[in-house]
Amino acid sequence: MHLFRILFFYEWRHFRAARGLVLLCCLLLATGLYGIYYGTTEIERQRQHLANLPELTRRNVDELKVKFPGPADAGDIGYYHSTFAMHHPDRWAALSLGLRDVNPSYVKLRLLGLQNQLYATDNTNPMKVLSGNFDLAFVLVYLLPLLIIALCFNLLSSEREEGILVVLLAQPVRPAVVVGAKLAFRLVVVLGLAGLLSVVGMLWAQVPLDGRVIMWLSLTVLYCLFWFGVSLVVTALQRPSAVNAVALLGVWLLLVVLVPSLLNLSVATARPVPQGIALTIKQREEIHGGWDRPKTETMNRFFALYPQWRDTATIRERFVWRWYYAFQHLGDLAVAPQAAAYAHGLQQRYDLVEQLNLLSPAINAQTSFNALAGTDLPTHLQFQRSATRFHDSLRAFYYPFLFGKVEFTHADYAREPTHSFTSQPELPTLYRGLVKLLLSVAAVYGLGAVLWRVRPIIPR
């Protein structure tokens, strides 16, 4: 143990003297801090955008109050009035932005058919979303392994190349203690950095102190341990430093770049998504066909679903709002199977990726971070379901006015339902991610142990 401490201490002195490595650590710290800054400001911006939306609804209502000074037909209000379904980020989203910039964080809704409103997108700069987010998760998943590689690629090889190893091993010291001390020192440095960044990120983003703090830290530690395991395996092969560097970078390239892009391709081929385009085209046909169909046919189909309005007056007018909204809703129902298939197809794609992410701990870590922060596709699908329920509640609010022929007064605006949805973490995905990461770590250390056993250290 004493020997271990001496070796550990000399690693520290060695590290302090190697200016390049200190610089790299500072660089990682700086990029990590930038990642936290960027993530928190990006989420703050999204919050600000969402906070401005009720003001837009208020302005819309003010305009309608001028346009309809007295009691109005609720049909007119439903047509001209717009409100928003809003997807508020969780505080954790600042550390792992996921797809929050690709998917819109709100949907503008009117009483009309839902399906051609639900998939509207927000303004985005395609070049920016293509480049991706420089958040803390990016620093941890992409850059931290590179620091580990830079620290470990010449773990033993440099000692051998400088002729120190032969002297070192001539001392009464077990090789395992030498490697252990070197690795332990690097582990302390890397975990210290990762832990520091994580804690700073959590404080900066003001995350709630729940079980997810432990989850985030466990994910980070396990992911670092995995890369140290890879370095251990490569060190066990006892090749020159340059070969080690190339091999380690090759593994990084494979797991962080190649496997994800190839997996993306194969998943898109294996799980083709039913066309969203076809869905909106069909819904338009259904809704506009509503104008040309006999009114009694439309109303009978509608009353079969809403028998409570069956006893309302028969429509004799050329145009009446309740008929108009009835065929809007029937248009949505006609494409309900397609809409469900579309959402289901997207979820299946995600599920397949989740099953296969055992292939690359990088994908696993990224998926798990996003699941923890509630920023991936499933959360967006949840938001869309929540927005659908909100649209249902809007219809339920307006139908008594429309079918009961109740006039819509200025006081009724305040009674209209509002919507708010906050991202929830995908805990099952997160737990599975942790278990799989643990498996990857066990596998790589198992391999390392076997290699060290079969290959004794060659001193020169």
User: Which residues within the stretch 294-353 sit at the binding site for another protein (CB under 8 A)?
Assistant: 346, 349-350, 353
CA dihedral 382, 388, 392, 397 (to 10 degrees): 90
Question: Which is closer to another protein, CB of 68 or CB of 142?
Answer: 142
Stretch that binds another protein, among 169-177, 279-287, 332-340, 394-402 (CB under 8 A): 279-287
Task: Kindly identify the residues of this chain, within the stretch 152-181, that bind another protein according to CB under 8 A.
Answer: 154
Least distance to another protein, CB of residue 377, Å: 4
Contact pick of 113, 260, 290, 448 for another protein (by CB under 8 A): 260
- Interacting positions 46-75 with another protein (CB under 8 A): 49, 52-53, 56, 59-60, 63
Q: How far is the CB of 134 from another protein (least distance, A)?
A: 5
Q: Which is nearer to another protein, 7 or 430 (CB)?
A: 430
By CB under 8 A, which span of 168-176, 186-194, 268-276, 320-328 interacts with another protein?
268-276
Residues 92-121 contacting another protein, CB under 8 A: 98-99, 102-103, 106, 108, 116, 119-121
* Count of positions on this chain that bind another protein (CB under 8 A): 84
Instruction: Select the residue interacting with another protein from 12, 124, 405, 424 (CB under 8 A).
Output: 124
Residues 18-47 contacting another protein, CB under 8 A: 31, 34, 38, 41-42, 45
Q: How far is the CB of 172 from another protein (least distance, A)?
A: 31
Contacts of 76 (CB under 8 A, 6+ apart): 68, 321
- Identified binder of another protein from the candidate list 206, 264, 300, 308, rule CB under 8 A: 264
Of the residues 115, 220, 235, 375, which one makes contact with another protein according to CB under 8 A:
375
* HEC-encoded secondary structure of 55-97: HHHHHHHHHHHHHCCCCECHHHHHHHCCEEEEEECCHHHHCCC
> Which of 131, 170, 172, 411 touches another protein by CB under 8 A?
131
Nearest approach, Cβ of 154 to another protein (angstroms)? Answer: 8
CA distance 230 to 425: 30
- Position 17 contacts another protein (CB under 8 A): no
